[in-house]
Amino acid sequence: MLQRSLGAGAVECYSRLHMQCLSEDAHFTYRFDDTLSVDTTPRGRRKGLATRAGTFYFLKDSLGTITDIADEAGPLVQHYVYSSFGKSLTIKDQNGNDVRK
C-alpha cells in the first residue's frame, strides 16, 4: 500500500499489484478511517461488490454509517439497510436486487 498526502489533511492510499493500481482511497483527517471515495479498477474489484470500474462515493447517515454508494455521475449503485443495533440487514444494487449471497 502506498500513500500520498494531498495537503489540508487529505491522504490518498493506493493498493498495487505488479505496479498496477488496483484501488485508490481518499481519506480526510476529520476521522482517520473515514473513506470519502474509492476509485476501483476491474482488476481491483471484490467479488460480489464492485461490478465496474470508476469513482464511487460513500454516503453516510448522522452516525457515520454508510447507507448508500453513488457513482461519479450521482446515481446510487448500492443501498445498505441496518437494524437499530447496526446489524446489516440488506445490501441492494441500483435495481433493488440483493447483492449479498
**Model confidence pLDDT, tens digit, residues 57-68:** 888 888 888 899
Cα atoms in the Cβ-side hemisphere of radius 13 Å centred on 25: 15
The answer, yes or no, to whether residue 1 has pLDDT greater than 70, is no
For residue 34, what pLDDT is reported? 54
pTM, full prediction: 0.55
* CB contact at 8 A, 27 and 37: no
In this structure, what C-alpha cell is assigned to residue 87?
446489524
Q: Which residue has the cell 485508490?
A: 24
- Who contacts 9 (Cβ-Cβ below 8 Å, separation ≥6)? 28, 29, 30
For residue 25, what pLDDT is reported? 58
Mean local confidence (pLDDT), 40-67:
69
Within the chain, how many helices (H) and strands (E) appear?
0, 8
For residue 59, what pLDDT is reported? 87
For residue 53, what pLDDT is reported? 66
